[in-house]
Structure 1
Amino acid sequence: MIAEELAAASPSERRTLMCRLENTTETIEELRAVRRDGPGRLRRTALEALATLGGEAALEPADRRAVERLVRIRRRTDPIGSVTSCWTYWWTIRGDDQAAVIEALGLTGVRETTYALASVVIDTLEHDKDAPIGLVYVGPSINGWVPLMGPWCDAFGDRAAEVRETIARLSVEFGEAHAFYFGERGDGSAWHIVRDGVVVRTFDSEALETCSGEPLPIEREALERDGLTGRPEDHAEDWWDIPDANEVAAAVSLDVGWHHPKEGVVKGSPVLAYAPGTEPFPLPPAFYEI
């Protein structure tokens, strides 16, 4: 029995075994049978295997409801947490009304999540270049800023013009909106700061010719600390002390990664939602945490 073999393995071995499973009708039905009929000691392992093989689409309605209940229970004591990917694209919008940001963007299909679950979903979508990009994480307002994260939030790639137009619109409505990118494996940093519809500063370590505006205070401080003048982009080829996007976001609004606050004034709860024009789709196959 598949579930029996998986349950007997260590956590690391179990992941390896799950990766080797074939997503066949027979395998899915065997695991679903364990979920329906037991034995009880194997039901959790069967659920993990189903999610790993086929994502949300592999779960029967009763199991989807069970997962939703578990999310609601975990959220009661879920501490503030970071939501990141290997390549993290996020926005921060000034304000303490998460619902107003969701409405302004026309997001749909809003569903409750935990910070850990959102991290798995966004990171999985970011790694799958064939996956739809229109599912985003919207965090609660923390210290006066609402974060939005996911591949759809990329303000520095092929969709830069479209995304920056949205950022400008949000800045007019809410006073200020920022877009950031951070590649945690040395894949660059970028930020785009807009206030009242006016672009204040744009920096992109991977496209220095697109940088504009005067350095932010945190940038100026770093330059002065190292005895440099001008702008960071003037020294990017040989200066290793340029602040990264996580540091800049923490200084001017809200970081969703390494410098995410662990406490503060929190209004709202973490959710996942679909961007305008995105057909709802089930959560992708992944090793899920809730």
Structure 2
Amino acid sequence: MKAYGFTRYGGPENEAFLDLPVPEPGPGELLVRVTASGVNPADWKVRAGLRRAELPLEPPVALGREVAGSVERVGAGVSGFSPGDEVFGGTVGSAGGWAEFARVPASFAALRPSDVAPTDAAVLPVAAATAYDAVVQLAPPPGARVLVIGAGGGVGLAAVQLAVARGVDVVGVASAGKHELLAELGATPLAPGAEVPGRVDAVLDLVGGDALRSAVAGLGGSPSAIVSAADRAGVAMLGGQAVARVRSGERLAAVARLVAEGALDPHVTQVRPFDEAGSALAVVEGGHALGKVVLRIE
């Protein structure tokens, strides 16, 4: 099968189209014929070797952590899915989603609603589901004020929408080019490093490092909750917690329902043909993407 990934760890020069064998679904897995696959910062970080401790791979491997497509075969012990079902979910290990076929754990897959496009469903398992997990973990009540650091990224845009839908007052920290979109979504945009006006009840961090530390240090009072999807060690030092991911089909189905109902827009702004996989990743790696980038594989 045709795939796109990397031949060794390092920079973009190690990316290439690959000719790989079609994977076999293991126990509890689905083999999915891929229609679309999301492009995420995690993809270039995997290629660069920044995720080797948590995801050790032996190149050459395909990139891509999330897909939408149709079930080709089911592995042993799988129930609730049949060949031909339209699904979306996260990928397994070295069987990345930037390929004609991908392995998907049945436990982290869901049936795709007919009114959710494959290109939208393909970006839900990583960014939107992370945002959903974070907002559920923070559980801000209506009227609370939440600071979202990194509000202009894929996770941030979803988190802003989910929080606003709960009646929360959101202050979103992002670069100036993303302020107009954040305001349209109901957030108060704020430039990185700017002073946060007024109180903040909770903080959702999607950047980590100095951005997290300086933002919290600049708050007038201590927020009741701080969670981070980007800096486990840093948030712990501030008395907060890492976002607890719930990688389940039930969680994916809940996020998809919000999309189907019009309560959540995944903000897919670029759908690239598979042949443009390298340039699509370059846009995301350069930090210039406004919204989500998707590869159409079929």
Question: Is the TM-score greater than 0.5?
Answer: no
Q: Normalization by structure 1: what TM-score? A: 0.29
Q: Which has the higher contact order (CA 8 A, sep 6+)?
A: 1
Query: Which of the pair is proportionally richer in helix?
Result: 1
Query: Which protein is bigger by CA-based radius of gyration?
Result: 1
Query: Which of the pair is proportionally richer in strand?
Result: 2
Q: Normalization by structure 2: what TM-score? A: 0.29
